[in-house]
Amino acid sequence: MDNLSKLLIITTMLLVILACLGSNIVFVSCEQQVTLTDSLQRSVNITIVPKRVITLAPSITETMAYLGVDNYIIGADSISFESWYMNIGSKLRERGVKSVGGYWWSAISVDDIIALQPDLVLAEAGAHKPLLSVLESHNITVFYLYGGSAKSLNEVYSDIYNIGVIFNRTEDAINLINKIENSFVETRKSLQDRGLSGLKILIVIDFWQGIWVAGKATFLDDVLSKLGLVNAASIYGWGVVNIEQVASWNPDLILVANMTSLSNETVAASGLYNLGKPVIILSYNETDVLVRPGPLLTDAPTILYNAVSSALKTGRETPTETTSTSTAQQITPEAELMPQLLIVLIPFVALVCGLIGYYVGYKRGVKR
């Protein structure tokens, strides 16, 4: 092998290493190891593409299904087995995937998780944090996502992106993020065109010991804001309030999530019907679309558009795609790192050119 061939091989190897640096993820090896920061701000090393995965929330299971890696799931929370999205619940049962209980940490069977010997457990920060110490004591790798505790759509997007990175589906994850974002842009325009922006919406999620609502700093608050609507609730986070507080917020529309076979009697007993405001009880599937922070959010703007249109008697119809030149900003996490990449790339290219120039000059000197 001559010196030029050796130089080309070295150059190729350096380019491969450089390619690994072009991401906000720390790659220790291009082929296998990646270090990610999870929602608990822990650095988690993923040494292989996980082939034995346990998911502890339906939105995580559904995201894996969208990315085409649900075949790696060997265990899942019980609610995932009820998911209608992409027929994932039926697929889990047909494959003999183990239910590990849940959704909340207190209902999860740690013994079942340990017995399955997973490569990775994907959990939610808000629902499963107490499981961390016991799982770590059994050398089980756990990666925490924001999930239902997400305070914004950006944190939901972070979850989707990280799952994409873990399973080498980054491009598909970015495409999903852009698909969700475009849906919000188009529906916001439709609401604006019909003069429905700025309406105050209250989202009720349960009636256990009061009226549970989605307050500020929740991803549902951001969902409303992205559509040009206003969250009527003035509390922060997910919280329980009484009917007097709801009345003081004076919402234009009350949306009630239906997660537990909700009856009209339960809603009536809460006093919501007595406020003289439109009250819409979402169907089971509509509720899943609205409250699960994953691929189902693509259809959340349509659910809200239809609800607003129905309540204000403007016609229950699906918003049409706009032909405006204004489009959603494409979210590509790698783009933020292009300046840093160029800082590394430019000196590297100069070095390679210098080496090649030196070699050519050397060969010419030898021939003389």
Is position 351 within any domain? yes
| Residue whose token pair is 């995932």 | 80
Pair 295, 341 in one domain: no
The secondary structure of 116-170 as a DSSP string is H--SEEEEEHHHHGGGHHHHHHTT--EEEE-GGG-SSHHHHHHHHHHHHHHTT-H
Pair 163, 190 in one domain: no
Pair 152, 271 in one domain: no
Pair 249, 123 in one domain: no
Is position 43 within any domain? yes
Is position 363 within any domain? yes
Q: What is the spatial distance between Cα 46 and Cα 63, in angstroms, rounded to a whole number?
A: 18
Is position 51 within any domain? yes
Pair 130, 44 in one domain: yes
Pair 195, 245 in one domain: yes
Contact between residue 319 and residue 301 where contact means Cβ atoms under 8 Å apart: yes
Domain membership of residue 350 as a residue range:
335-367
Look at residues 134, 168, 202 and tell me which one is the last residue of a structural domain.
Answer: 168
Across 81-96, average pLDDT: 97
343 vs 268, higher pLDDT: 268
Is position 340 within any domain? yes
Q: What is the pLDDT of residues 165-216, one digit of tens each?
A: 999 999 999 999 999 999 999 999 999 999 999 999 999 999 999 999 999 9
Pair 48, 132 in one domain: yes
Is position 76 within any domain? yes
The yes-or-no verdict on residue 295 having pLDDT over 50 is yes
Q: What is the spatial distance between Cα 147 and Cα 128, in angstroms, rounded to a whole number?
A: 10
Is position 271 within any domain? yes
Residue 94 burial class via C-beta count within 10 angstroms: exposed 0-12, middle 13-18, buried 19 and up: exposed
Q: Residue 182 contacts by C-beta under 8 Å, 6 or more apart in sequence? A: 327, 328
Domain count across the chain: 3
pTM for the model: 0.78
Six-digit token pair at 221?
């608050």
